[in-house]
Structure 1
């Protein structure tokens, strides 16, 4: 290779600077990087089994889709990615709805829905959500272009896709599946397009849009209380650690101590209130993510190969031999840094906002953080604030900290009043928890904070399955020998309902 030109050096240097300065929290508004629904764990497969699975992965296909389903004068189209597997031809279609992350073809060969599909000889189709993964309807995610990102547009994408595929296969029955936000889409699709599908499995689905999702941390507290490893309280230790942080923050020596203990990337400026809120939120996120995905069969490996669970973090928090509560809180943070191969703990608010303002598809924000933030600002809210009294993380990241981000990232018009109206519009459009459609099963785990906004008790026309001891979307992942009996029974019950819908 010849010498680089000055222009090439400038471009490469610019890319390096952007990448070095990019910062989006690994757990943002309840969403881990990659999306709410992770990939099925393959670490329990030997080399031969893994090679077999990988050889079965379907290639990407693309479907011609309208940009704006609600403007008949707008004829622009784009290519939406999907994956097809299972049967080559069938009168039964199973459709997995994509969400706020890249569609992964591993789901077309692994997962509980594949077991159901094999039983019924169904074709398995996984449709990627617009604006995520490689499904790019516009040139970038600028405010002008991202306006076509909404759950309503996504539902019409799905309707167009299913209508076309039913005709293509001559299919007579369709069952849809979704986990987390796609679980909401599955339930809402049965409301909007009941004639297109014969049943919907709605897993870990928040159906109530809510600006201030105070209940999230309340469930986190209750879930951490399930730890019975010692006589010490995991939640009390967390509260004590956060109190210690509050005590140390006012002094220069205290801030230096916190920087060292938590391996912070920057000095703490006590006058930057948003940085302080972001620091408290980031440290709380270490526990939120663990609770949300506790023992769900994802490949959520720790530094030494041990699964990070509620038991893992609470054993640290209640182990007095590891130091005081603040030292233990810092050890949990160190474990997370090692797990995710991060050198230091980012917390600068301005750095996060600058990253989320990046509109390029090649940016870190385009992984999904910017798009999901936009959807929370314009449709759902779902901000996990510290405003509740029934949670252990003190009150340093209130609702205003979250709603302000909509203005800072997108537009000054995206204020708290705008968000409240958007959330009300969503609830009016879909009915929130006043669900009236049939042939839907709502599946939730008791550990999962998102069950707080879902349907956990059966309705006259729709069944609910509430699984004790399980977390977010646990029933969707491949079964293991360690699965609790309630999870095994839940999967079986879902299968029975699918059998009935297909009769």
Structure 2
């Protein structure tokens, strides 16, 4: 879903295939594109990349100086060579044995780019997940966006990691339903973890992966991954910044349009709701003459299916998401659309069209005398502007549909779940090894916490007018959380989709300057926490100053070892100056404090280690009870203790 904005534009991406027949009726669309290739039953990756490079030559990757075209796609003057050198990392094709027909040990070249000009020894690494596009499209964030802002402020390194199956980071040679079995959120999260643990950054002196805190950043889908990575691998990623992260999978996502309805110009929305209901009622007549005349009015006479027709009418709403505080990045298309719909200028229609459409409109009780004239303005915009111009299927959903409430309906009721999800089975026919599920398996994603997600050093930054708001941590369905340095919770008033990700050295509006300053501040706090840690690993047997370390928690219960059928037990070695003679039953588990116990009995902490035993549900129950009493996040424990040294593993 490559676009000039990082967000998953499902309302356009999912719609485009279903209106393909109609669009190909227009000569302007009768050409080979990377989007059409991705829908073919089997596509050589080299052919796809060739077409993508040709498209990239027309709209070259985000390099300055820029030129904004009529359609507001950001175009930049070409360079003789890329702005940043591409490096590659040998990434596993599959990290999981549970995948059908796994390919153990096979690797592919995963691309990444970096900027280390601000780096000083021990400085942080800011890893930006490129999400669903060619990683080169993220260069602005490395040059003057969030990576540059945070790296400059904290003497860090900015890195863009290209997502598997995008750009040139393909783990397969042909794109088929079966070859897509290695594309999942879990696989891509393991890519990031593996990259962090094993990458050797070329040309960066005095750098060690384990001596610098790594902070994961992402916007939209990549933002959700930043949250998941921080939750799942807290000892790998010291922090996570989630910008407009769609952390809650939603199959029937009619609330996508709610922020638009609430925030867009009122007159425009009122007219659009009226037009939508009027069109639906005309189509409900099932009168061939009325239907064909209506389609002709909108310049779509060759669209045979009515659901494809109304879906095409919804496309202008997609431009709401493209709004941005920076005109070099954002789009004015939505303003153009609303201006056309609300224009006071008369738009003539043919006598034949008026003769066919006016009688049934007059029979609609709520229709006004000017209904057809108003509809003609909407129709002219569609005629002139629109008619000429995969993890979601398996895990997330986000099938954008019409509101169940007619008074809030910006798009036709025919854009329902059945219609919006149809693309998944058209684009991905059953393979020999795998098939697209009937409905997305959203529990795979919900297990990370969904709208209830929380955690230390996990920041949520959202926009109040983002159409994806209801899938983010700032959804009205989510419980609000306090905004702290350890757990930032930021809402950009009037902001849309990951507005903090791009930046400008001079001339940022006040709300963007403020959010960037706040991000610099809370990341600085996280780095202070990192620096306060002892450079020796908490679990090193040579550790002698455990009592003064923040690694200690009030109680160290046996806890589930994630992804295995075991519980992990933590052993703390407490050295006695003399035998205590203390009976085990004299020690209460409730409110037990390791530090207080050491102080009372004059003990010295000399080391830590682990052992594990097979899963016992009773142990898990005890663990949950303990955590419920503590004012500490469940995932905080793994965050504090870090990854044990190899000789401590069992």
Q: Normalised by the size of structure 1, how large is the TM-score?
A: 0.74
C-alpha contact 1:445 1:466 (8 A) present in aligned 2: yes
Deviation at 1:113, TM superposition (A): 2.5
1:408 alignment partner in structure 2: 426
Q: Deviations over 1:393-422 (max 9, x none)?
A: 2311101112233223224699997425x1
Q: Is it true that 1:426 corresponds to 2:445 in the alignment?
A: yes
C-alpha separation between the residues in 2 aligned to 1:244 and 1:331? 16
Match of 2:324 among 270, 295, 301: 295
2:498 alignment partner in structure 1: 473
C-alpha separation between the residues in 2 aligned to 1:344 and 1:256? 19
Q: Is it true that 1:162 corresponds to 2:196 in the alignment?
A: yes
C-alpha separation between the residues in 1 aligned to 2:119 and 2:160? 16
Q: Deviations over 1:225-264 (max 9, x none)?
A: xx26xxxx21121123234434555455545544544333
Distance 1:41 1:184, change over 3 A: farther
Q: Is it true that 1:437 corresponds to 2:452 in the alignment?
A: no
2:302 alignment partner in structure 1: 267
Distance 1:22 1:172, change over 3 A: closer
C-alpha separation between the residues in 1 aligned to 2:522 and 2:295? 53
> What does 1:132-281 correspond to in 2, within 5 Å?
132-165=166-199, 169-170=207-208, 171-224=211-264, 227=265, 233-246=267-280, 249=283, 250-264=286-300, 267-269=302-304, 275-281=305-311
C-alpha contact 1:234 1:317 (8 A) present in aligned 2: yes
Secondary structure in 2 aligned to 1:433?
Answer: helix
Larger radius of gyration: 2
C-alpha separation between the residues in 2 aligned to 1:480 and 1:286? 32
- Give structure 2 stretches of 5+ with no counterpart: 1-26, 40-51, 56-60, 69-75, 348-372, 475-479, 529-650
Aligned residues, how many? 422
Deviation at 1:380, TM superposition (A): 0.3
Distance 1:167 1:142, change over 3 A: same
C-alpha separation between the residues in 2 aligned to 1:115 and 1:257? 54
C-alpha separation between the residues in 2 aligned to 1:69 and 1:388? 41
1:312 alignment partner in structure 2: 336
Match of 1:449 among 462, 467, 474: 467
Q: Deviations over 1:362-384 (max 9, x none)?
A: xxxxxxxxxxxx21111100111
Secondary structure in 2 aligned to 1:476?
Answer: coil
Deviation at 1:473, TM superposition (A): 1.0
Distance 1:68 1:293, change over 3 A: same
- Give structure 1 stretches of 5+ with no counterpart: 1-15, 270-274, 302-306, 338-342, 346-373
Q: Normalised by the size of structure 2, how large is the TM-score?
A: 0.59
C-alpha separation between the residues in 1 aligned to 2:507 and 2:93? 45
Secondary structure in 1 aligned to 2:468?
Answer: helix
Structure 1 window deviating more from structure 2 (312-321 vs 440-449): it is: 312-321
Aligned Cα RMSD in Å? Answer: 3.5
Match of 1:329 among 378, 402, 426: 378
Q: Deviations over 1:320-349 (max 9, x none)?
A: 324433222234335644xxxxx725xxxx
C-alpha separation between the residues in 1 aligned to 2:288 and 2:295? 11
C-alpha contact 1:404 1:415 (8 A) present in aligned 2: no
Q: Is it true that 1:284 corresponds to 2:303 in the alignment?
A: no
Deviation at 1:201, TM superposition (A): 1.2
C-alpha contact 1:173 1:502 (8 A) present in aligned 2: yes
Deviation at 1:285, TM superposition (A): 2.1
C-alpha separation between the residues in 2 aligned to 1:63 and 1:501? 28
C-alpha contact 1:40 1:106 (8 A) present in aligned 2: yes
C-alpha separation between the residues in 2 aligned to 1:74 and 1:63? 17
Distance 1:467 1:53, change over 3 A: farther
Q: Is it true that 1:126 corresponds to 2:160 in the alignment?
A: yes
C-alpha contact 2:464 2:496 (8 A) present in aligned 1: yes
Deviation at 1:435, TM superposition (A): 1.4
C-alpha separation between the residues in 2 aligned to 1:96 and 1:208? 21
Deviation at 1:89, TM superposition (A): 5.3
Deviation at 1:106, TM superposition (A): 3.6
